[in-house]
């Protein structure tokens, strides 16, 4: 075999090996980036689903939280109202107002436990929100408002009220003030957080 013919064979072999190597490399790189894109896309979908789930949970917490706080402190108002009626009637032994005062007070005490359970679940949801959404000063501010909420106070001097008509008016005002307080200190911060999360979900979906 001539030297020239041998060189031609080597060139053909090398070209074939180079072509095979390039093809193999392209296939491997293609498979890697395809798998990486698929993995990243699945992560994005999973995170988006988790964000929507926690958003729905927060919506449910808003309704539950406001209802429980209103119910608990309304029960205190109603208990004090009936106790004041009992006092104005000069403390009769057999009194519907006394029984109602005791019933409402028991309900108020029972709702303390329900509020504790509700808050535990709410704070767990808030923890997930902090993990799943971008950490911004606005998010921190809203989370802190929810964590460090004010507790309603019933500032009524029931023992200074001496007629039934005034009692009813005071009770109605106390309930109205309570509902306003709960909405401002519990409902509105959660609503603002829901608005923020909604905008973040819309951005991440693009």
DSSP 159: G
What does the block give as tokens for 118? 């509700």
Q: What is the pLDDT of residue 49?
A: 85
Helices and strands counted in the chain (H then E)? 5, 0
Task: Give pairs for 194-198: CB < 8 Å, separation 24+.
Answer: 194/55, 194/58, 194/59, 194/62, 196/138, 196/139, 196/142, 197/51, 197/54, 197/55, 197/58, 197/129, 197/133, 198/55
Is the CB of residue 126 less than 8 Å from the CB of residue 57? no
Question: Percentage of the chain with pLDDT > 90?
Answer: 66
Q: Answer whether residue 23 shows pLDDT above 70.
A: no
CA distance to 10, 14, 16, 25, per residue, from 21 (Å): 16, 10, 8, 6
Through-space distance between the first and last CA atoms of the chain, rounded to whole angstroms? 66
Confidence band of 200 (pLDDT split at 50, 70, 90): confident
Residue with the bigger pLDDT between 16 and 53: it is: 53
This prediction's pTM: 0.76
Residues 48-74: tens digit of each pLDDT? 788 899 999 999 999 999 999 999 999
Q: Answer whether residue 19 shows pLDDT above 60.
A: no
For residue 143, give the nearest of 201, 190, 181 by alpha carbon. 190
Residues 170-187: tens digit of each pLDDT? 999 999 999 999 999 999
């Amino acid at each position: 075999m001539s030297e020239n013919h041998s060189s031609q064979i080597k060139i053909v072999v090398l070209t074939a090996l180079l072509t095979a190597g390039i093809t193999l490399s392209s296939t491997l790189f293609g498979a890697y980036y395809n798998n990486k894109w698929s993995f990243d896309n699945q992560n994005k979908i999973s995170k988006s689903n988790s964000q929507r789930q926690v958003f729905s949970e927060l919506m449910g917490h808003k309704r539950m939280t406001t209802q429980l706080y209103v119910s608990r402190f309304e029960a205190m108002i109603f208990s004090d109202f009936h106790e004041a009626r009992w006092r104005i009637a000069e403390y009769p032994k057999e009194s519907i107002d006394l029984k109602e005062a005791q019933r409402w007070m028991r309900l108020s005490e029972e709702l303390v436990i329900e509020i504790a359970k509700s808050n535990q679940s709410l704070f767990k949801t808030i923890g997930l929100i902090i993990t799943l959404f971008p950490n911004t000063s606005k998010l921190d501010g809203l989370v802190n408002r929810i964590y460090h909420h004010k507790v309603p106070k019933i500032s009524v001097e029931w023992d200074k009220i001496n007629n039934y008509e005034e009692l009813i008016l005071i009770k109605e005002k106390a309930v109205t003030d309570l509902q306003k307080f709960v909405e401002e200190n519990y409902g509105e911060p959660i609503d603002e957080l829901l608005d923020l999360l909604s905008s973040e979900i819309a951005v991440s979906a693009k």
